[in-house]
Amino acid sequence: MEKALLMAYDVVNQQNIPVLYLNKKLSDVQIVTELLSVKASLENGKLENGNLNEGEFKRISEVSGKLYELPLYFCDISDNIDQLKQTIKVLFENEGVKILFIDYEIEDEEYVIELKKDTTIPIIAIPYKSQTSI
């Protein structure tokens, strides 16, 4: 599980602060699937293959209902930095996003630096290289 994703979820869940989570290697669907699986305590791949027992299905329903209510936003990162900056600005202005969390590859560090230069909200960026299993 990506560290910044868990941090973003915890901030939103505990403090109800609107946050945006970015990840260049996972799509929005993959991010949500991973988050649901971890928070519902499912084994790897269980949600993807749909082979859930009644208890697992109930946990997924509870977690997805909770996630739906939280001000946690996901964005497929585009290679177009200007488009991404515009998306961040809109979420900041319209949704009140207060913090940006990013999990990124080391080779994308320049991308993160560019975002930090032109973004007024706090950014917590964690490179995959520094992440260990959680």
Per-residue pLDDT tens digits for 10-40? 999 999 999 999 988 888 888 999 999 999 9
Do the beta carbons of residue 104 and residue 125 sit within 8 Å? yes
Architecture of the domain whose range is 3-130: 3-Layer(aba) Sandwich (3.40)
Calculate the alpha carbon distances from 128 to 19, 40, 91, 101, 125 in Å.
20, 23, 25, 13, 10
Q: Could you state, in order of their start, the residue ranges of all structural domains in the chain?
A: 3-130
Q: What is the pLDDT of residue 93?
A: 94
Predicted TM-score (pTM) of the model is 0.86
Q: What are phi and psi of 63, to 5 degrees?
A: -65, -45
The CA distance from 88 to 93, in Å, is 9
Average pLDDT rounded to a whole number, residues 104-113? 85
Reported confidence tier of residue 2, pLDDT bands at 50, 70, 90:
confident
Q: What is the pLDDT of residue 115?
A: 87
